[in-house]
Structure formats: structure tokens, C-alpha cells
Amino acid sequence: MDTPPLIRLERCPAPAKLNLFLHVVGRRADGYHLLQTAFRMLDWGDSLTFALRADGAVHRTTEVAGVPEKQDLVVRAGRLLQQASGCRHGADIAIDKRLPMGGGLGGGSSDAATTLIALNRLWGTGLSRAALAKLGLQLGADVPFFIFGRDAFAEGVGEELQPLTLPPAWYVVVAPPVLVPTAEIFRAEELTRDTGPIRITDFAASTTRNDLQAVACNRYPEVGAAIEWLAQFAPARMTGSGACVFAEVGSEMEAKDIVEKCPAPMRAWKAKSLARHPLSDWLD
């Protein structure tokens, strides 16, 4: 007896990421910045539900504040997969949005990656992990990491990925009451763009930082205030281009205690590291 086709994929995870460090080591002729970073996934994030449509339309069925449907990376990801595969199926996509926007946690990129992985399965398009990552790069520099599906040392614009083995850890993530536009930070004249490169083998012993942090703190004092508050408990740093900041702590209980102390209007969460993307087994 034939197995009936999939018609729905429920609550597919789209995990957050942290940049444990982020160095800007140069700039390409086309203006894109050359980076080195260590990506780490967290067991906390958005979730998406996909329902098959026969008419070829790709729709987002939930509202996302400030993001028109046509501009949403999940809709663009679905349509990009259709174009690349010739698939005539469509999908309704519902997003349960938990990650703060403009936070440097990769929420939009993770949602897009989960969309590519899930629709590749729902539609039976059969693209490989490498092929999906190549598509994902057209949507954003962080998307290939989520398709790669594990902690990684990244170079280039963020798409040259090597596996990174890290011990499990608990983190506190704090969101200050501000959104930081990524493009503004990368355009800043005062941004350091000549940090010396490090090797993956030297990562653990290297002195690292986030080169974007000083720019973000200068332009958005709320980010600096969040770092200062969190640094009372453990070394704190900004992730990505901000605005969120994070600190590694010794245990879940320690993380819980810090989260409970977080003063308004800042918000805080505890999260554990995630060794593999929850949908990684859906790819080769």
C-alpha cells in the first residue's frame, strides 16, 4: 500500500544562534564584509507550521509585526525553492514568533532555513543540504549556517563553514528595549574592518571580541547598558550586530536566577546550547 503524501508539518523548530565572537577581517570589492565568527545554536527559538497547497501559492498565515508578507524571508524562501526545483506545490506557513526582531539572534534567517528544509521534505523536492545552503545564501548570510545544522566556525561573508566541537553550556540572553539595524552598523565609518584573522585550531586560546559591539553601543546606549548589567554575573558580549547580549553561565539554576533579576524594560531568557539542528536528519 502506498504511503500517503505529507500534507502538513507541525511546529518545526527554528532555533536562535549566538555569535560567540565576530571579527571583521576585511571587505570585498562589492562592499560585503569578510568575517570570522563562531556560530552556536540554542534550544530556544521560533516554530513554524507548513500546510500543503495544491495551487502553487506560498502564503504566510500569521501576522509578523513590521514585516509585510511579500518581504518575509519565509515566503521568499518558499518561492526560491519552487524556482530552483520546478515544484508546483504551494504552502501556507504559520510562524510562532518568539525571538526578538533586530536582536542579532538570527531569527529571520533561522525561519528561512527551517522553511527550506521543511518544504524540501513536504514537497518532496529532494535537494541536498549543500544545494539548500546555496539557495539560503541568496536570502541571507546566516541562513547557510542553520542548514549546515551544527556549531560552526565561519568565514567569508559567513557561508564558509567548518564544524566546531564545543562543550554543552547554559546561556542568559538579554534583549534591551531597542532594535539595531544590521545595515547601519556595517555601514558605520568607525567600524573596525582589519582585525587579524585567527585559525579554527587557535579559537579556544585566542582573545576574541565582537567588532560590531563598540559601534552598536555608541549609537544605541541601551545595548551598552544591557552588557553592563549582565556583566555583573558573567562576562557579557553582544551577539551579531545586536541588540541582544549574552553570557555563558555555569548551570540552568544560575541562568534562572539571573533571568529573574532582569530589570524592565530589558527582557531576559535562559537557553541551553544545541549540538544539532532539530531538523538536521531531514537532510543528507
d(CA 172, CA 257): 10
Query: Side chain identity at 168, as an amino acid letter?
Result: P
SS3 232: coil
**Residue 196 annotated as binding?**
no
pTM here is 0.95
Is residue 242 annotated as involved in ligand binding? Answer: no
Listing DSSP states for 112-130 in one string gives HHHHHHHHHHHTT----HH
Residue 92 CA to residue 276 CA, distance in Å, equals: 26
Domain locations along the chain: 8-164, 170-274
Confidence of residue 4 (pLDDT cuts 50, 70, 90): very low
CB 113: neighbour CB atoms within 10 A?
A: 32
In which region does residue 36 sit, left (phi positive, over 0), alpha (psi from -120 to 50) or beta (all else)? Answer: beta
- Check whether 109 is labelled as a binding-site residue: yes
110 annotated ligand-binding residue: yes
* Catalytic residue ranges: 17, 142
Q: What is the pLDDT of residues 156-210, one digit of tens each?
A: 988 899 999 999 999 999 999 999 999 999 999 999 899 999 998 887 767 899 9
224 is in an annotated binding site: no
Contact 91, 50 (CB under 8 A): yes
On the question of pLDDT at 265 being above 90, the answer is: yes
Q: φ and ψ at 228, to 5 degrees?
A: -60, -40
**Residues 6 or more apart whose Cβ sits within 8 Å of residue 140:** 73, 108, 109, 112
Whether the predicted pLDDT of 259 surpasses 90: yes
Q: Which fold has domain 8-164?
A: Ribosomal Protein S5; domain 2 (3.30.230)
129-137 and 107-122 helices, crossing angle to 10°: 140
Is 1's pLDDT higher than 60?
no
The answer to whether 103 is annotated as binding is yes
pLDDT for residue 102 is more than 80: yes
- CATH fold, domain 170-274, is Alpha-Beta Plaits (3.30.70)
141: left (phi over 0), alpha (psi -120 to 50) or beta: alpha
Burial class (CB in 10 A: 0-12, 13-18, 19+), 189: exposed
Sort strands 58-60 and 33-53 into parallel, antiparallel or unpaired: unpaired
Mean per-residue pLDDT of the chain: 94
Evaluate whether 99 touches 45 at the Cβ level (below 8 Å).
Answer: yes
Distance between terminal CA atoms of the chain? 26
* pLDDT tens readout for residues 15-65: 999 999 999 999 988 888 999 999 999 999 999 999 999 999 999 999 998
